[in-house]
A and B are shown apart, each in its own frame.
Chain A
């Protein structure tokens, strides 16, 4: 296929990825990577490299808006990066080393199963607009992990605070490894850690995940860039489309209810899980 025809298609694909990524906090690579492999025949290592570019563009475009609107929690996001960045370095290094081995398939299946395990908890909280009583732990108090945001739908300032920082840091390290390994934002795990363990409201979780995934992607994507796994002829149109889609998503999110965001989030976890397992099993 001629590149002149492919470029606009890549931009359109990336617009969809950026929109979904910024609305759900997932990063958009979930949409872009399988589409590049299945529709355009892009080799998986290059698709993973492009996935990092998608995440970087989503995080910068949506993150800029969420930070400006004080929806991202800067302190909680940067606190958790101490776990995601080492994870991403481990994952991305493993990706390069495993490229010529067959171990990645088994890891993909394992990832899919872990993703499916997230679903019941998210479904159980599907009607929850705001978290219930929260009991901050010592680390949460020491680092001042609390904040508030102006909820446009509820029409009031919503205060929140964080608890369970130890399991949250553990999940965040795992999220970093997954992100580095597969070139996805691993926002599923980041939103899970923020919402389920730290107990911050869904919109803050989504916006903070968007804020964080860029740094995780810089850690993993930097290694793949230096290793030559990023092809700018594919990455550039994807970055352009993703930024446009993510900007659109960031305009939509403040107008949605937390429950609506979660309803968008759950099907994407299921789709991602099934898609990952199928890819790991070598099925299209």
Chain B
């Protein structure tokens, strides 16, 4: 069926990518679980309608707001941090790919992964704030 030999990436790359995904997810889920329990305990009787009407993430979208919330021990700030960790996990995975392609001197794939990284940051740091 094939006349192009199967391309082998180093096992180490597979192992690290798997660990990046697993580690990021675990960190995110740990933060979210603990913060969700703390939020429920500190806001007894909260209804779904209340939760939807008062999205707690809005006050933590800025860096200073988030840092202040984390310092105060606000559960909603830690929930926000959990979401950030979840969004950051695949970005870190792309960065891992870039590192390995650069190390393997694969210029084409290195350029592709770098472009993807730049685009991801453009979305987060430029497009998001513009359309907010």
Contacts and interface: CB of A to CB of B under 8 A. Distances in A.
Contact of B4 (A96, A161, A230): A161
A159 B1 contact: yes
B124 A215 contact: no
A236 interface: yes
Contacts of A6: 48
A232 B90 contact: no
B64 interface: no
Interface in A54-73: 56-57, 59-61, 63-65, 67-68, 70
Nearest to A149: B6
Interface in B30-47: 32-33, 35-36, 39-40, 43, 45-47
B4 A136 contact: yes
Interface of A, secondary structure class, is: helix
Contact of B79 (A160, A221, A233): A233
B63 to A, nearest CB: 12
A56 B17 contact: no
Interface residues of A, number: 79
Given A57-B25, A225-B128, A233-B51, A89 B119 contact: yes
A7 interface: yes
A268 interface: no
Contact of B22 (A42, A56, A60, A226): A60
Given A134-B2, A230-B83, A232-B79, A78 B116 contact: yes
Given A222-B87, A231-B56, 20 more contacts: A2-B46, A3-B48, A4-B40, A53-B83, A60-B28, A60-B86, A60-B89, A75-B9, A78-B94, A88-B123, A89-B123, A92-B123, A92-B127, A140-B4, A142-B108, A146-B5, A222-B120, A228-B57, A234-B52, A239-B86
Interface of A: 1-4, 6-7, 40-43, 46, 53, 56-57, 59-61, 63-65, 67-68, 70, 74-75, 78-79, 81-82, 85-86, 88-89, 92-93, 96-97, 130-134, 136, 140-148, 159-161, 214-215, 217-223, 225-228, 230-237, 239-240, 243
Ranked nearest first, the 9 interchain pairs of A and B with the lowest CB-CB distance are A226-B128, A214-B90, A232-B79, A144-B7, A60-B25, A64-B21, A236-B32, A148-B6, A68-B18
Interface of B: 1-9, 13-15, 17-19, 21-22, 24-25, 28-29, 32-33, 35-36, 39-40, 43, 45-48, 50-52, 55-58, 61, 76, 79-80, 82-84, 86-91, 93-94, 97, 108-109, 112-113, 115-116, 119-120, 122-124, 127-129, 131-132
